[in-house]
Each structure stands twice: as structure tokens, then as C-alpha cells.
């Protein structure tokens, strides 16, 4: 039983807790009003009933005294016929009397209305006695009033003693019917009170329903709409057919939502356009760019950064950038990134060598991204520069300067040594020794001159100087070169062979530069060819044409029967200051001749090739484009700028 009561109590508490504060207050107020009205109703009913009883009591007592005063003499004279007639007339003339009973001093009823004693005797054959109240005074002069309940209402009983000449003759009992007006009024008041009680609750319930339909529901709809607007759902609308202030409020809300939706669409279009512009701009930047938030999540990355870090096939947007960086980069920038996100520093710069996806040197610049007020950090911008070429150029410059310094130091040291010896011990030296010393100084001076000239020639080629290219007669250039080296070849016992095809077309090139190429290649061939060997230069036009509108190119070959070049050295033969003699012989040279040749041929939009075998010989060859008569002379820009010296 207790558990059932507890369950009911919990259910009621749960049901009550689901109501809003407004509903609870309304229910409490309705209950208070109902109880007050019920109390007033009950008080009114009781007051009316008490007044009715008092009226019945007074009426019964007065009626009893009046009737007793009229019939007491008749009872004393034992004139019962007159008593009966008088009582009958009196009973018939009023509806307030319910019964009239006459009893003697012993309480035996000798006459009564609405029944007669004779009728009682004949039909019931019993003696009736009146049952007087226990506190009836007997022969008292004042009437006694009592009330008892009947199906018709409360009946007032009045007991009046019959006294004549101070002699007690008996008692007259009169029953007074309840006051119908009072009864009807009481019932009507009770019904009205109940109706009022029910009406109050019905009105409250109807008011609640009307309030829910006309006020609460629209307000709830507005509340839901405002919450949706607050969350960014500007498509929210309220469709309720209401008028008045609420209708205007709903209409204004819908207009506001529509304007916000249009404003959002406009902003989205503008933001999308700006984002597209930003992404296009970032994608065209030569440097890598990565934008991350304070949680290290990638927001934006351009193609250059994807290529540098090998992210072409990986979608890193939305991922932690530290999980996708190369280990060397991750090790360097992890701590600075978190320090910048915490606001401890604003920028940082690193120079890191990475092996993946390909070996390269990169410069990473970290910069914080602040809000418009420059008060809080919104993210970090990572700029990535591929400085591999710059590093290689710097290394090449350093190596070039080191090599030049080394090459210059050797002849200068020799010149200084021999001159100091001649200066200090010239008189003590024999004439032949002095001549040998001067010859050595002269040779070293020539070597130094060649080195300086080669360096100057290479610098001119790589300084950005423009050269005019026109039709060049290869036969003439080859003839001039061979005349220059003819005596040198005769002294060494090396045969110079010229094989130039007849009717050879002009080639597009620079005459002086081509003469320099021929001179370097023939000079090297003579240098590394022993006596009895042969050096040949050939020029002929190839059979194939690059296109229908262009003539076939001309190929130039310089061959020798010298010592040859080892396979492991062939890939380095065109590097600056690389000399094969360091490995296979002791001949002197600057190591810049072939580098100059390659640079010049590159300017002619061609490539130098070689075929060599140790102790058999070497052949250098390259192709030059045929000169077209209809093509005017052109200015050829330098292929390699002075600031981009390389050592391939």
C-alpha cells in the first residue's frame, strides 16, 4: 500500500514538474479562487438554512399558541366536535401545518389531523399515544419546539400545553412543514454556487487553451525561430494566421529572417569569391605556403608546398600538419609552432635539409596571423622556400673562388720564388741557370695569363652579355683555327686533318665564339696526343631535317688519337678546373677550356657530346643549326646568368 502511494505521489510530482511556472501559478490561483467561492457558497447556504429554521420555529410557536388559545376552552368543556371542526378548518386553510395532534395529560391522542381517532380505531384498532420529548416540562406554560428530518425536509415540531384556569388539560402537537421558499432558495443557491465553481475552472481551462493557441504557441514558435536564427538557420519562417500585435511581430520576424538569409547568401558569395581569389593568389606564389590554426590543423596549402613536402596524393587539409611533415622539419619547428600558438613569439626562421621526397634545402619562415584588432592569434602562416639552387650556386661560387685562388697561387708562387732567387743570388748563378730561371718565370707568366684569360672569357659568357648571331662560314673559321695551331702541331709531330664537306651551308652562330670553341678543342687534342698521332676536324651536313621549314643541321667533330678519357671522368670533364692530368698525366692546364666550350655551345642552343676510350682517343661533336637567308640576325640572351654559375 505504501509503495502504491509512493508511486502515485512520484507520478503526480513528475506530472506537476512538467508544467511551466506560468501554468503552475495559474492552477494555484484557480484553486484559491475556487476554494474561496466554495466557502462563501457554503456559508450562504448555512445562513439561509438557519434563517429558515428560525422562521419555522417562530411561526410554529406563534401558530401553536394561537391555536391552543382557541381550542383550550373547547377541550376543557369536552366539546371535541368543535375542536375537530375548528382544527379541520384551520388545517384546511393553511399548508404550513403538517399535522395536528391532541393528547390528554397522560399523552393519549384523542384527536389528530390528518387522521381521526375513530378511523384509527376502526382501521388499526390501536391506541396511539404521543411521544413527548424527555425534557418536556409537562404542565409548563411555554411551548417547546423541536425539529426532525423527513424526506420532504426539516419539519418543526411544536408542543403547546393546553391550560385552562391553570389546569393542565393535555398537549397540542403541531408539525410545521419546511418553508418551501427557503428550501428552493437554498437549492438554487447551492446549484448556482456549484455552477460558479465549475464555471471558474471551465473559464480558466478555456482561457489556458485560448492562451496556448493565441499567445503561448506563437511565442513558442517565435522562441524556436529565434533559436534557429541564432544557430545560423536563416531559412526559418513562422506561418501562423494571427492578427494584432502578435501578427505584426511574426511578420516582422519573417522579414528579418528573409533579410538575414539574403545577407548571408551575399556574404557567402563575397567570401567565396575572396577565398577563390586568395587561393588563386596563393597557388601562383613561387614559394610554398601553408596556413594552420592554433590547433595545428591545416587550413590552406598551395601546390608549391605540396610539391616540396610530397603531398600531391595526400589531402592534408583538416589534418595536423606535424603528422605529415618530414622528420627533420618536424623536429625543428614543433616547439616553435606551439610557442607561437601560445603567443610567446611572433616569427621564426629555419634552414633545413630534407631527404624526402627528394633531397633539397629549404628555408621555413613562421609568422603568426592576428585578428583585425591584432589582439589574438588566429593561426600561423608557414612560408617554404626551396633554396637548393641558391645553396648550390653559393657552393659553386665558393668552389670557383677557391679554385681560382689555388690556380693563381701556384704560378704566382713560382714567379715570386724564381725572381727572388735571381734578385738575391743573380751574380752567383751561371748564365744558363739565370736563363732557365727567366724561362720558368716566362712560362709561369704565360700560364697565369692563360688562366686569367680563361676566367675572363668564362665570366664574359656568364655575365649576361648579349652576342649577335648571324650566318657563319664554318670552313673559314676552321681554316683560321688550323693556321693558328699548325706550327704547334708540327713541333709535336702531330698531323692536323681537315675534312670539311663541299657546299657546306652557313650556320647560325657567332664567329668569334665558334673560333674559340675550335681553338680550345683542337688545343686540348694536341696537348693530349703524342707524337705521330693525328687530330682531325670534320664538318658535314646531316641527312635529316628537324621540320619541313628548316634545313638539316651541320655536325662538327674534333677527333684525336690521344690518351683518351676514362669512363668515370667523362661526366666531370666539363666542370671548372677539372683536369684529367691530375690522374693520368702531368700536363698543365687551367681546367676551364671545356667549361668555356660547353657554355658557348649552350648559347648556340646545342649540346657537346664526347666519345672516348683510354689509349685510343677522344671525339667531341656537336650540331649547329643551318642559317636561313630569310631569317634576320638575332640577339641571343645568355643561358646562364652571372649569379647562377653551376657545376654540372
What is the rounded average pLDDT for all residues in the chain? 77
Confidence of residue 120 (pLDDT cuts 50, 70, 90): very low
For the chain, the domain total comes to: 5
In three-state secondary structure terms, 127 is coil
In three-state secondary structure terms, 16 is helix
Answer whether residue 305 is part of any domain: yes
97-101, 140-144, 273-277: least confident range: 140-144
d(CA 352, CA 343): 24
Q: Is the pLDDT of residue 408 over 70?
A: yes
Q: Whose grid coordinates read 704547334? A: 488
pLDDT in tens, 389-407: 888 777 767 776 776 776 6
Answer whether residue 109 is part of any domain: yes
pLDDT of residue 189: 62
Per the structure block, which three cell numbers stand in for 7? Answer: 508511486
Answer whether residue 62 is part of any domain: yes
Q: Is the pLDDT of residue 419 over 80?
A: yes
Q: Whose grid coordinates read 657537346? A: 608
pLDDT in tens, 535-550: 999 999 888 777 666 7
d(CA 159, CA 109): 13
Contact of 362 with 387, CB cutoff 8 Å? yes
Answer whether residue 398 is part of any domain: yes
pLDDT of residue 642: 32
Q: Are residues 494 and 569 in the same domain?
A: yes
- Of 386, 407, 428, the one marking the end of a domain is 386
129-143, 288-302, 343-357, 510-524: least confident range: 129-143
pTM for the model = 0.41
Q: Are residues 352 and 450 in the same domain?
A: no
d(CA 257, CA 262): 9
Q: Are residues 300 and 382 in the same domain?
A: yes
pLDDT of residue 248: 76
Domain CATH code at residue 411? 1.10.287.130
In three-state secondary structure terms, 633 is coil
Q: Are residues 293 and 425 in the same domain?
A: no
Radius of gyration of the chain (CA): 68
Which of residues 3 and 547 earns the better pLDDT score? 3
Q: Are residues 368 and 428 in the same domain?
A: no
102 closest CA partner among 51, 67, 133: 67
Q: For CA atoms 132, 137, 143, 146, give the dihedral sign.
A: negative
* Domain around 409: 392-454
Domain CATH code at residue 69? 3.30.450.20
d(CA 101, CA 239): 82
pLDDT in tens, 608-645: 999 988 888 999 999 998 887 655 554 444 433 333 33
Answer whether residue 10 is part of any domain: no
DSSP 420: H
pLDDT in tens, 38-70: 677 767 766 766 676 677 677 777 877 878 888
- Mean pLDDT across 24-33: 75
Q: Which backbone phi and psi does 127 adopt, to 5 degrees?
A: -95, 130
Answer whether residue 17 is part of any domain: no
pLDDT of residue 31: 74
Q: Are residues 487 and 581 in the same domain?
A: yes
- Other Cβ atoms less than 10 A from the Cβ of 457: the count is 19
Answer whether residue 217 is part of any domain: no
pLDDT in tens, 335-380: 988 888 888 888 888 888 888 778 888 888 988 888 777 778 888 8
Q: Is the pLDDT of residue 494 over 60?
A: yes
Answer whether residue 257 is part of any domain: yes
Domain CATH code at residue 524? 3.30.565.10
Per the structure block, which three cell numbers stand in for 624? Answer: 649547329
Amino acid at each position: 500500500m505504501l509503495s502504491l502511494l509512493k508511486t502515485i505521489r512520484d507520478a503526480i510530482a513528475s506530472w506537476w514538474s512538467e508544467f511551466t511556472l506560468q501554468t503552475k501559478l495559474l492552477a494555484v490561483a484557480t484553486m484559491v479562487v475556487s476554494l474561496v467561492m466554495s466557502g462563501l457558497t457554503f456559508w450562504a447556504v448555512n445562513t439561509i438554512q438557519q434563517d429558515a429554521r428560525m422562521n419555522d420555529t417562530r411561526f410554529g410557536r406563534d401558530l401553536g399558541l394561537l391555536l391552543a388559545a382557541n381550542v383550550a376552552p373547547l377541550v376543557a368543556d369536552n366539546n371535541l366536535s368543535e375542536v375537530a371542526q375548528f382544527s379541520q378548518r384551520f388545517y384546511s386553510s393553511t399548508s404550513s401545518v403538517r399535522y395536528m395532534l391532541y393528547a390528554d395529560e397522560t399523552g393519549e391522542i384523542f384527536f389528530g389531523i390528518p387522521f381521526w381517532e375513530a378511523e384509527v380505531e376502526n382501521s388499526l384498532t390501536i391506541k396511539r399515544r404521543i411521544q413527548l420529548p424527555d425534557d418536556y416540562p409537562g404542565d409548563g406554560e411555554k411551548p417547546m419546539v423541536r425539529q426532525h428530518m423527513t424526506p420532504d425536509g426539516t419539519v418543526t415540531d411544536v408542543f403547546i400545553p393546553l391550560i385552562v384556569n391553570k389546569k393542565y388539560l393535555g398537549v397540542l402537537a403541531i408539525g410545521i412543514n419546511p418553508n418551501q421558499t427557503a428550501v428552493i432558495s437554498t437549492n438554487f443557491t447551492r446549484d448556482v454556487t456549484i455552477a460558479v465553481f465549475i464555471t471558474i475552472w471551465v473559464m480558466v481551462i478555456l482561457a489556458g487553451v485560448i492562451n496556448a493557441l493565441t499567445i503561448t504557441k506563437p511565442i513558442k514558435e517565435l522562441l524556436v525561430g529565434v533559436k534557429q536564427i541564432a544557430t545560423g538557420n536563416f531559412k526559418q519562417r513562422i506561418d501562423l494566421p494571427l492578427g494584432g500585435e502578435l501578427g505584426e511581430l511574426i511578420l516582422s520576424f519573417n522579414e528579418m529572417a528573409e533579410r538575414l538569409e539574403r545577407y548571408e547568401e551575399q556574404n557567402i558569395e563575397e567570401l567565396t569569391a575572396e577565398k577563390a581569389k586568395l587561393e588563386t593568389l596563393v597557388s601562383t606564389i613561387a614559394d610554398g605556403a601553408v596556413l594552420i590554426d592554433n590547433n595545428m590543423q591545416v587550413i590552406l596549402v598551395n601546390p608549391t608546398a605540396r610539391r616540396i613536402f610530397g603531398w600531391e596524393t595526400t589531402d592534408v587539409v583538416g589534418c595536423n600538419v606535424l603528422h605529415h611533415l618530414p622528420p627533420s622539419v618536424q623536429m625543428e619547428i614543433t616547439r616553435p609552432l606551439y610557442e607561437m600558438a601560445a603567443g610567446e613569439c611572433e616569427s621564426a626562421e629555419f634552414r633545413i635539409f630534407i631527404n624526402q621526397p627528394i633531397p633539397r634545402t629549404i628555408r621555413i619562415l613562421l609568422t603568426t596571423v592576428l585578428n583585425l584588432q591584432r589582439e589574438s592569434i588566429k593561426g600561423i602562416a608557414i612560408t617554404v622556400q626551396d633554396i637548393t639552387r641558391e645553396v648550390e650556386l653559393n657552393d659553386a661560387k665558393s668552389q670557383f673562388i677557391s679554385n681560382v685562388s689555388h690556380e693563381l697561387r701556384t704560378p704566382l708562387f713560382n714567379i715570386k720564388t724564381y725572381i727572388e732567387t735571381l734578385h738575391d743570388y743573380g751574380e752567383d748563378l751561371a748564365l744558363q741557370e739565370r736563363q732557365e730561371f727567366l724561362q720558368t718565370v716566362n712560362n709561369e707568366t704565360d700560364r697565369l695569363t692563360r688562366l686569367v684569360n680563361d676566367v675572363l672569357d668564362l665570366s664574359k659568357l656568364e655575365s649576361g652579355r648579349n652576342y649577335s648571331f648571324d650566318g657563319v662560314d664554318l670552313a673559314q673559321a676552321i681554316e683560321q683555327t688550323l693556321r693558328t695551331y699548325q706550327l704547334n702541331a708540327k713541333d709535336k709531330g702531330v698531323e692536323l686533318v681537315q675534312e670539311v664537306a663541299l657546299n657546306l651551308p652557313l650556320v647560325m652562330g657567332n664567329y668569334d665564339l665558334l673560333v674559340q670553341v675550335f681553338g680550345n678543342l683542337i688545343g686540348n687534342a694536341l696537348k693530349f696526343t703524342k707524337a705521330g698521332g693525328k687530330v682531325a676536324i670534320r664538318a658535314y651536313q646531316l641527312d635529316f631535317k628537324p621540320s619541313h621549314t628548316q634545313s638539316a643541321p651541320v655536325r662538327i667533330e674534333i677527333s684525336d688519337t690521344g690518351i683518351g678519357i676514362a669512363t668515370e671522368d667523362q661526366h666531370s670533364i666539363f666542370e671548372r678546373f677539372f683536369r684529367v692530368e691530375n690522374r693520368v698525366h702531368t700536363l698543365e692546364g687551367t681546367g676551364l677550356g671545356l667549361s668555356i666550350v660547353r657554355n658557348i655551345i649552350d648559347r648556340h642552343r646545342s649540346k657537346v657530346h664526347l666519345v672516348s676510350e683510354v689509349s685510343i682517343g677522344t671525339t667531341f661533336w656537336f650540331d649547329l643549326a643551318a642559317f636561313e637567308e630569310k631569317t634576320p640576325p638575332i640577339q641571343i640572351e645568355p643561358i646562364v646568368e652571372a649569379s647562377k654559375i653551376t657545376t654540372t
